[in-house]
Amino acid sequence: MEERDPGYDDWFDEPAPATQESRRGDGGVYDDGGDDVWVLPEDEQGGRPRRSDGNVVIGGVSLTTTQLAIVAAAVLAIFFGILAAAGVFNSAKAVAPPITTVTTPPNETSTTVPTNTTPAATAPTSPLKPGDTGKQVKVLQAALNALGFDVGKPDGDYGPKTQSAVEQFQSSKGLTADGVVGPATLTALQQALGGSG
């Protein structure tokens, strides 16, 4: 056996094609004008190189067409899996809860219960004046807030904001707007709050 170059390719060691002279006995005719038939090297053929057995060589690995189809299907499955995980195929919109309507039969009448618009606050029980502090001032501040005369958060300190709110309340009730919660202002507050005291 003769030694060959390590880079030698046995691609061309196939039997030579039959010529007219060698095939005379079987009646076949082959004449290409005397030219030898050559195959282009792999890098000049275009596309993927094919071996003589029909396999495709990718990265030095020979794959059958079935194996190549399986690899392609796996790559596509991974691609679509990534798209699905990213929500590309999710077209669901936010759905509002169903609206439930209640209808009253024609022979029944619906009744409307009036809501109490009176604030759930009480009036202070003793006279107060600017500079006072304590629980009764907090009660006054809560009552004024409930009646729509803003004093802010009740803090128990009868300061300028509370005095201004008392003056506004007194003016709305036709009282002398002096900012002092005396007997007349206490009575007006109790009546405005629904008689609670």
The pair of three-digit structure tokens given for residue 186, joined into one six-digit string:
């206490």
Residue 128 lies in a domain: no
Let me know whether 81 and 140 are in one domain: no
pLDDT at 93: 59
Mean pLDDT of 127-143: 93
CB atoms under 10 Å from CB of 8, counted, come to 10
How far is residue 95 CA from its own chain's centroid?
14
Which of residues 12 and 143 earns the better pLDDT score?
Answer: 143
178 in a structural domain: yes
Residue 94 located in a structural domain = no
Amino acid occupying residue 175? L
Does 19 score more than 70 pLDDT? no
User: Residue range 152-157: average pLDDT?
Assistant: 92
Which pLDDT does position 59 carry in this prediction? Answer: 79
Residue 127 within a domain: no
Is residue 11 classed as helix, strand or coil in its secondary structure?
A: helix
Domain span holding position 28: 11-85
Domain assignment of residue 124, yes or no: no
Rg (Cα) of the chain, in Å, rounded?
A: 51
Calculate the CA 82 to chain-centre distance: 18
Of residues 46 and 171, more confidently modeled: 171
The whole-number pLDDT of residue 160 equals: 94
| Domain CATH for 153 | 1.10.101.10
What stretches of the chain adopt beta strand conformation (E)? 56-58, 61-63
Model confidence band, residue 88 (pLDDT cutoffs 50, 70, 90):
confident
Mark which of 65, 85, 105 sits at the end of a domain: 85
Q: Residue 168 domain-assigned?
A: yes
pLDDT over threshold 70, residue 182 = yes
Q: Note whether 166 and 181 are within 8 A (CB).
A: yes
Count of domains forming the chain: 2
Q: What is the mean pLDDT of residues 174-189?
A: 92
Q: How far apart are CA 128 and CA 131, in angstroms?
A: 9
Of 36 and 133, more confident: 133
**Predicted model pTM:** 0.40
Q: Is residue 99 part of a domain?
A: no
Asked whether the predicted pLDDT for residue 39 surpasses 60, the reply is no
pLDDT of residue 58: 78
The stretch 84-103 carries a mean pLDDT of 71
Identify the pLDDT of residue 68.
Answer: 85
| Residue 62 pLDDT | 83
Q: Are 127 and 181 in contact (CB under 8 A)?
A: yes
Residue in the structure block whose two tokens are 């029944």: 108
Average pLDDT of every residue of the chain:
76
